[in-house]
Amino acid sequence: MKYIHIDSMNMFFRSVHTLNPNAGVDVMAGMALHTIFNSLRKVWKQFEAEHVVFHTEGRSWRKDFYPKYKLNRKVAQLSKTETEKENDEILFEAFNDLITFMREKTNTTVLRCPVAEADDTIAVFIQAHPDDEHIIISTDSDFIQLLKHDNVTIYNGVSDIIMTKAGLKDAKGRNLEFSIKSDSKLKVGKPDPTFAPDANWYEFAMFLKMIRGDKSDNVFSAFPGARLKGTKNKIGITEAFEDRETQGFNWNNFMLQRWEDEEEVEHLVKDKYEENYKLIDLESQPDDIRLACVESIDEQLKADRVEQVGIHFMRFAGRWDLKRISDSATEFANILNASYKPKQA
């Protein structure tokens, strides 16, 4: 099987954030839906996919492990004006309507685990289907770590870039030059047919993020001020990464460093790194969380088949004024009508 996994909330709201607010919230909601459907169609055709899985958010177990996890988002939400809150309600209405439509009126699979995030269900689903191909539609850089699996591809539906273990390609299939910035984000350059990234670039990007932290999720640095490359007298992040398998002098010298926070509390880099590793690594969920994800996947893959998907799709497209999308109703109906096919014993 070839599965498309849509990180639905990520794609919807990242699409919204690329739009001019002056366009109006209804237009922004419609354009975000357009981005999701167009991304889905592009990936479906290019990879000849067979089934679509929409992943939605449950309450994250990470908040119990690390109470500050994504706390910054809650603070930001509380500081919004009444108009901004009203606009958010309209956007969430559009998003929830999309998920309800997919769950009740199509034969796509909609996955939600009550105690896990969409990132978790995507990662667990891939692990549970090791012989299948998986294309993830998301802008979340955390998924880069899953490129270590040969059967995983990532499509960024906002920037229109495809990522594999071998590197990045643009919408025209051209090989793209890129580098990993000191904050672990990718800096994408121009098309270059001769460019080849380091063999373990995706692993280094994630190691760097675990050291630097993730501001968007309120995950703090394991080693504030650490240099990307070391000096004669100090080991850097790059040298520690290169020594990760043998865990020799460079690894231990780096991990056993100590630093003090603003409250003069001392921290060991190794301890903070291991904390960040558990928060960021998508294959390190606690056993009970992994089991809950597996149970949710097994249960929701058994959803009853829906008939007349095309008619339901036309109604949804009309409700959100998705004219360009509705012009290709037959094409989208075929995509949304493709049921999950369990493996034969």
Q: What is the pLDDT of residues 27-51, one digit of tens each?
A: 999 999 999 999 999 999 999 999 9
**246, pLDDT greater than 80:** yes
Report the length, in residues, of the chain: 345
Tell me the average pLDDT of the chain. Answer: 95
Q: What is the pLDDT of residue 341?
A: 85
Decide yes or no: CATH 3.90.1150.10 for domain 2-198+284-336. Answer: no
Question: Residues 16, 29: contact at Cβ < 8 Å?
Answer: yes
Q: Which residue has the tokens 């988002």?
A: 73
Q: What is the pLDDT of residue 235?
A: 96
**10, pLDDT greater than 70:** yes
Three-state SS at 256: coil
* Residue 303 burial (CB count, 10 A): 16
Distance CA 55, CA 181 (A): 29
Distance CA 174, CA 191 (A): 6
Angle of CA points 305, 303, 133, to nearest 5°: 95
**pTM value?**
0.95
Distance CA 11, CA 273 (A): 29
User: Domain limits of the chain?
Assistant: 2-198+284-336, 201-280
Q: What is the pLDDT of residue 127?
A: 96
- DSSP structure class, residue 214: B
Q: pLDDT band at residue 342, thresholds of 50, 70 and 90? A: confident
Q: Which residues contact 343 (CB under 8 A, 6 or more apart)?
A: none
- Lowest-pLDDT range, 19-23, 169-173, 303-307? 19-23
Each residue of 69-104: b (16+ CB within 10 Å) or e?
Answer: bbeeeeeeeeeeeeeeeebeeebeebbeebbebbbe
Digit-coded pLDDT (tens) for 184-239: 999 999 999 999 999 999 999 999 999 999 999 999 999 999 999 999 889 999 99
Positive or negative, the CA dihedral 225, 226, 228, 229 is: positive
Q: What is the pLDDT of residue 231?
A: 92
* Residue 326 burial (CB count, 10 A): 17
Torsion-angle region of residue 177: left (phi > 0), alpha (psi -120 to 50) or beta?
beta
Q: Which residue has the tokens 């460093």?
A: 257
Q: Which residues contact 110 (CB under 8 A, 6 or more apart)?
A: 53, 54, 56, 99, 102, 103, 300
Q: What is the pLDDT of residue 21?
A: 83
The partner residues of 235 in beta bridges, in order of sequence, read none
Digit-coded pLDDT (tens) for 100-126: 999 999 999 999 999 999 999 999 999
Question: Residues 241, 248: contact at Cβ < 8 Å?
Answer: no
Q: Which two tokens stand for residue 197?
A: 């990234």
Q: pLDDT band at residue 344, thresholds of 50, 70 and 90? A: low
* Residue scoring higher pLDDT (20 or 66): 66
The partner residues of 266 in beta bridges, in order of sequence, read 260
Q: Which residues contact 111 (CB under 8 A, 6 or more apart)?
A: 53, 54, 55, 56, 118, 121, 125, 296, 297, 300
Positive or negative, the CA dihedral 231, 234, 235, 237 is: negative
Q: Please state the rounded mean pLDDT for residues 171-191.
A: 95
- DSSP structure class, residue 115: T
Q: Which two tokens stand for residue 220?
A: 């703090």
The partner residues of 6 in beta bridges, in order of sequence, read 54, 137
**160, pLDDT greater than 80:** yes
Q: pLDDT band at residue 23, thresholds of 50, 70 and 90? A: confident
Select from 105, 149, 114, 115 the least CA-distant residue to 5.
149
Distance CA 312, CA 315 (A): 5
Positive or negative, the CA dihedral 35, 41, 45, 50 is: positive
